[in-house]
Amino acid sequence: MLTERHLEIFVALAEEEHFGTAAQRVGITQPPLSQGLRRLEALLGVRLFDRERGVSLTDEGTLLLPHARRALTALRELRETGAREHAGGRRLRLGLAPEVPASLAAGVAAAPVRAGERARIGMVTASTAALLGDVAAGRLDIAVIRHPSVLHGLAAGRVILLPTWILAPAGLTDAGGTPTRLPVAVRPRAEAPAAHDLFVDTLASRGRRVETVVVSDERAGLALVAAGQAVLVTADETLTATGVERREAADPPLPLRLRVAWDPRRPDAERTAETARLLEDALARKVAR
């Protein structure tokens, strides 16, 4: 098997042109250096040095020397990168459902570091279905997902209920503050089927006829509200626009249900579960305020 030591012997001997000096440079004695060179030549199937008149590169050796140097440089950079990764602490790959408000998402992502973990946070936003797939595949360590969801063997913490608000066009509500004759802007059902169905069923629990209109995100939903064409339920207390009224979603309650999920089958699952609890606590503090 070709090793880094083989390449070091090749480069040192090519530059020093002397077996003894090259052996000192590599940190070995001359016999192991000669043995290593013979092994390298056997692996490559070529003669690298002409030993009849001192030590000089053959044509094949001259051709291969730049490749050996690049390989050694790449290995050195690999080690240096690994050392920096280790010095920077654990890498935590976090996924968040897009329904999590931006200010809360920032607090959740920062929770492990604020708790004293030496972690470098990488964060992505994706649908609950995509997040669950990424956690199961090992592309993410932890995900904050909508509840209910089919976990397929993943672990999840307690359900956190975030309060929500109904955004409606100004002047288009009845005496009780309920928006009249407007569809509800929702994200595609495929993103979180069970959570989507629970939301729609809860809306219909008061005997109201529920119509929905699919939007790509809450900004698109807000645009429809401002245009007088839809209402929107959001957990983002800062989301608003001119001509939009806001009231708490209390009749019926429409909380955003969230859970923190991870894969208990992974080798570091116990440590990941501890980090998941930190994220849960960050979510729960939002509810308590």
- Cβ-defined contacts of 177-181 (< 8 Å, 24+): 177/247, 178/251, 179/231
Which pLDDT score, from 0 to 100, does residue 116 have?
82
Residues 130-169 have pLDDT tens digits of 999 999 999 999 999 999 999 999 999 999 999 999 999 9
Task: Using alpha carbons, select from 122, 130, 127, 136 the residue that is nearest to residue 97.
Answer: 127
Say yes or no to pLDDT of 115 above 90: no
The residue behind tokens 């609950």 is 128
The span from the CA of 83 to the CA of 133, in Å, is 30
Which pLDDT score, from 0 to 100, does residue 141 have?
95
The span from the CA of 13 to the CA of 149, in Å, is 63
Structure-block tokens of residue 254: 């429409």
pLDDT band at 174 (very low <50, low <70, confident <90, very high): low
CA distances 64 to 59, 85, 116, 180, 212, Å, are 9, 32, 49, 78, 66
Residues 30-83 have pLDDT tens digits of 998 899 999 999 999 999 998 876 788 999 999 999 999 999 999 888 877 766
Supply the pTM of this predicted model. Answer: 0.69
Residues 83-112 have pLDDT tens digits of 665 555 678 999 999 999 998 999 999 999
CA distances 142 to 69, 95, 103, Å, are 41, 6, 19
Which pLDDT score, from 0 to 100, does residue 175 have?
47
